[in-house]
Amino acid sequence: MEKDNLYIFVPAILLFALVLLPSGKTDTNLSENLQANVAEAALVPVPPEVEAKSAYAIDLSSGKIIYEKEKTSALPLASVTKVVSVLVILGELYLDEEVVVSRTAVSTPEPSSLKVGEHFFTRELLAMAMVESSNDAITALVEAAANKKGIVQNESEAWFVNLMNLKANSLNAFTMRFNNPTGLDILDEKSGLPAEAGAFGSAEDLINIAKASIDSELWQFGEITEVQSKEGFVHPLHPTNLLKSEITGLIGGKTGFTDLAGGNLLVIVQHPYPGGHLYGIVVLGSSENGRFEDVKKILEWIKS
């Protein structure tokens, strides 16, 4: 029986029992106990209904499951994919390693403000990837990592995607499959319409990866508001996570949105803040705005 139905069903049975009870002292005591149980049941919060196709929330400190909905379903990840991309980059490049932006990187769909020939430190491009989900930045980093290994540019993406799949498997995220480092939908060559998702994975596996990477530099880029290239160009960062200014105790997060994926969101929140437990919340397959509302609903459920 589903949880939502259970919260309605139990009080109903108890009320029905009260009506059928005969009078008498013993029965009166029993009636009072049942009334107390009904009152207690009525105070139990009802889990929220979310728009997302899949949702999962756990206490990362204890592993206790707080909320779940189709948590094992493998769905398109969109730019939440970059969580794994960044983990792989952190294993291939030093944070202070210099990266040049190529024309190929700048031509990546949904470009950011990067210019061909600009030089950045790895950490700066990682901040662009995590804060404003820059596909240009991820592509530049992939090319730099491949070049460091002697991989030619036209083979760099395939090489990197293989590393991403290996990384996911090493973290027991077996539902995950990556077709590119950005999570962008793959377009049909004839129609130009989305034909296949750039990556797939489950909410449960995303939480497992978040838990495994909680001490990683991955989650330390969210406070960066701008980066500057060696050439002196300043690039203000525009956060894609609209909850950044709304949630107290937000430790980190990653958004994603494509036609095939819908709206996705992963956040790590400390509650109470400071000093409380860390909670991981994922919603997949919501809408562009609905993903933020879904996470807020689940966070309120955690607080209750």
- Residues taking part in catalysis: 79, 82, 133
The answer to whether 85 and 129 have CB atoms below 8 angstroms apart is: yes
Q: In what order do the strands lie in the sheet with 75-76?
A: 75-76, 199-201, 177-178
Q: Does residue 274 have a cis peptide bond before it, meaning omega lies within 30 degrees of 0? A: yes
Q: What is the dihedral of CA 27, 32, 34, 38, to 10 degrees?
A: 150
What's the CA gap between 99 and 150, in Å, rounded?
A: 15
Non-local (6+) Cβ contacts of 133 within 8 A are: 79, 82, 240, 254, 255, 256
Mode of pairing for the β-strands spanning 177-178 and 199-201: antiparallel
The answer to whether 49 and 22 have CB atoms below 8 angstroms apart is: no
Tokens in use for 21?
């009870």
What's the CA gap between 185 and 5, in Å, rounded?
A: 37
Does the annotation list 254 as a binding residue? Answer: yes
E-strand ranges in the chain read: 54-59, 65-69, 75-76, 98-100, 119-121, 177-178, 186-187, 194-196, 199-201, 226-228, 234-236, 250-258, 262-271, 277-286
The answer to whether 197 and 182 have CB atoms below 8 angstroms apart is: no
Q: How many CB atoms lie within 10 A of CB 86?
A: 24
Q: Write out the binding residues.
A: 254
Q: Which residues are annotated as a binding site for substrate?
A: 254
